[in-house]
Amino acid sequence: MSATQAQKDELRGKLADTKANYFTDAQLAVLIERYPVDDDDGNEPDDDGWTETYDLNAAAGDGWDEKVMAISDSSFDFSADGATYSRSQRLEAYRRNASYYRSRSCAETVLPAKAPREQAPEEGQPFNAAAEDD
């Protein structure tokens, strides 16, 4: 798997890193390749005919989280010389951006499985008859 330059550029835009000040192309590729999804033809990432398709919104959510961690130690509010400095506003904005992109990421479907599995009844028996054999 390998992210294309167009995908890296799109993710860089979602991360407001247009001057490449924060993320390298290699770092963007790692973020992108965490989230492979089915392609337009319905091929899954493990299929032979899969066209490399990724969830860039989920990758952007992770990227914003990384930016939050990078600035978290210096994002505090303070007052000095009669002025108030609210550095935490940037931190909150980054967190909102992470949430924004995560809310737009691809939905995942998880099907519930009953454990242990019940055995299907033989024809003509009620469904709970197998439990009554004991």
3-state secondary structure (DSSP) of residue 5: helix
At residue 75, the pLDDT reads 64
- Cα separation, 52 vs 1, in Å, equals 7
Q: Report the number of distinct structural domains present in the chain.
A: 1
* Structure-token pair, residue 26: 């290699």
At residue 56, the pLDDT reads 97
Which of 59, 31, 58, 55 has the alpha carbon at shortest distance from 45?
55
At residue 90, the pLDDT reads 84
Give the domain extent around 66. 5-133
| Entry field: residues in the chain | 134
At residue 128, the pLDDT reads 63
- Counting as low any pLDDT under 70, the low residues of the chain are 1, 74-77, 117-118, 127-134
At residue 107, the pLDDT reads 81
At residue 125, the pLDDT reads 73
Report field, pTM of the whole predicted structure over 0.85? no
* Structure-token pair, residue 4: 């294309």
Largest Cα–Cα separation, the chain: 87
